[in-house]
Amino acid sequence: MSISQPYLLFLGDVTDPLSAKTARGIHQWRPNVCVGQLRLTEDTVSLGLDDLSLEQAKEAGAKTLVIGTANAGGFIPKTWLSTLILAAEMGFEIASGMHQRLSDVEELSALQKAGKTTLHDVRHFDDALDVGNGKERAGKRLLTVGTDCSVGKMFAALAIEKALQERDIKAQFKATGQTGILVQGSGISIDAVVADFISGAVEAISPAFTDHEWDIIEGQGSLFNPSYAGVSMGLLHGAQPDAMVLCHEIGRQHIRHLPHASLPTIEATIAANEQAAQLTNPNAKVVGICLNTSSLAEEDARELCAQWSERYQLPVTDPVRFSVNSIVDRLV
């Protein structure tokens, strides 16, 4: 999946700031690829970008209209259709992370068939893949892993990519989920591939390379999440990481959406990931811990990171509040 940049970020008519999380993530991590925003009403959430019409965005060089909002059920609202169809007619690519496929909208599908547009349904994946083979390949890889889903694995990966680049170390973020794919303009939604091809998909996302230093691969799920551990396991084998960064949310009471399932300990998470990863990379090691400490006061968070750093003999940080410099120090 390869999405042309730069983007015009489409915010539709959503008024709940949380619903614009995807657009905000793209803008935060790739400000240079966002030429502006398109809002359908005055009340629509704003990212503070220039409000552009399709014509103005075209003139400013935008290649793809990115639907940067989620809504209940993942369906494309009727109120958005005329704008999306007009964009396709004007030759914009359209990218969406929603459940409903753009290609299921008849008019959009017809425009794609006519060669007017390219539709990117990043939550889905239909192309052919090879099964993974676990063969050693050139290049160094870092993978973010977690105690659970939604603990900041994408954020940590992007923060590490940025910190490496700031030190003039060439690093490339590799996306495995829909927001990550929209941020990067490429990647595969790893939980959407056919089960046989999980590790093969990651081998395709991060093939052998010698032109840069690090691939920073976005993790998914957790080996301890009874819904999704198969995805996490295949991702781990396909990534054959040299380094792993463990992500965890302070204060989470149980596995997300599953009150009966308790969270693993940090020790168990490190041990299980290192053991499994060593199948395809005997040197795989956890090299740091990224915490989401938003439930703590900043001073308490800082103290906790220091304590854990002592306890686990690893750099420990909150990438949102502090920085990932201590982890990057360990990497280089």
Residue 174 contacts its own copies per CB under 8 A:
no
The nearest distance, CB 280 to its own copies, in angstroms, is: 5
| Burial (CB count <10 Å: 0-12, 13-18, 19+), residue 226 | exposed
Residue 324: helix, strand or coil by DSSP?
coil
User: Where is 171: in which H helix or E strand?
Assistant: strand 171-174
Residues 44 to 63 in contact with its own copies, rule: CB under 8 A: none
Task: Report how far residue 279's alpha carbon sits from residue 258's, in angstroms, rounded to the nearest whole number.
Answer: 29
Residue 183 identity (one-letter amino acid) = V
Residue 191 contacts its own copies per CB under 8 A:
yes
Residue whose C-alpha is closest to residue 177's, from 158, 157, 193, 191: 191
Residue 98 contacts its own copies per CB under 8 A:
no
Residue 227 contacts its own copies per CB under 8 A:
yes
Site for its own copies (CB under 8 A): which residue of 122, 198, 244, 246?
198
Residue 83 contacts its own copies per CB under 8 A:
no
Q: Which span (108-116, 129-137, 159-167, 284-292) binds its own copies, by CB under 8 A?
A: 129-137
Task: Report how far residue 175's alpha carbon sits from residue 97's, in angstroms, rounded to the nearest whole number.
Answer: 13
Residue 131 contacts its own copies per CB under 8 A:
yes
Residues 233 to 292 in contact with its own copies, rule: CB under 8 A: 233-235, 237, 258, 260-261, 272, 275-276, 279-280
Site for its own copies (CB under 8 A): which residue of 193, 244, 263, 270?
193
| Burial (CB count <10 Å: 0-12, 13-18, 19+), residue 299 | exposed
Q: Which span (2-10, 68-76, 156-164, 220-228) binds its own copies, by CB under 8 A?
A: 220-228
Residue 228 contacts its own copies per CB under 8 A:
yes
Task: Report how far residue 277's alpha carbon sits from residue 283's, in angstroms, rounded to the nearest whole number.
Answer: 9
Q: How far is CA 104 from the centre of its chain?
A: 24
Task: Report how far residue 140's alpha carbon sits from residue 45's, in angstroms, rounded to the nearest whole number.
Answer: 40
Beta bridge partners of 246: 145, 289
The nearest distance, CB 93 to its own copies, in angstroms, is: 25
Residue 78 contacts its own copies per CB under 8 A:
no
Query: What DSSP state is assigned to residue 167?
Result: T
Contact 112, 103 (CB under 8 A): yes
Site for its own copies (CB under 8 A): which residue of 194, 208, 306, 332?
194
The nearest distance, CB 187 to its own copies, in angstroms, is: 15
Site for its own copies (CB under 8 A): which residue of 192, 250, 304, 320?
192
Residue 306 contacts its own copies per CB under 8 A:
no
The nearest distance, CB 270 to its own copies, in angstroms, is: 14
The nearest distance, CB 158 to its own copies, in angstroms, is: 23
Structure tokens at 315: 């750099």
Of residues 88 and 244, the one with the C-beta less far from its own copies: 244
Of residues 258 and 332, the one with the C-beta less far from its own copies: 258
Task: Report how far residue 64's alpha carbon sits from residue 57's, in angstroms, rounded to the nearest whole number.
Answer: 10
Contact 132, 234 (CB under 8 A): yes
Q: Which residues bind its own copies (CB under 8 A)?
A: 131-136, 190-196, 198-200, 223-224, 226-235, 237, 258, 260-261, 272, 275-276, 279-280
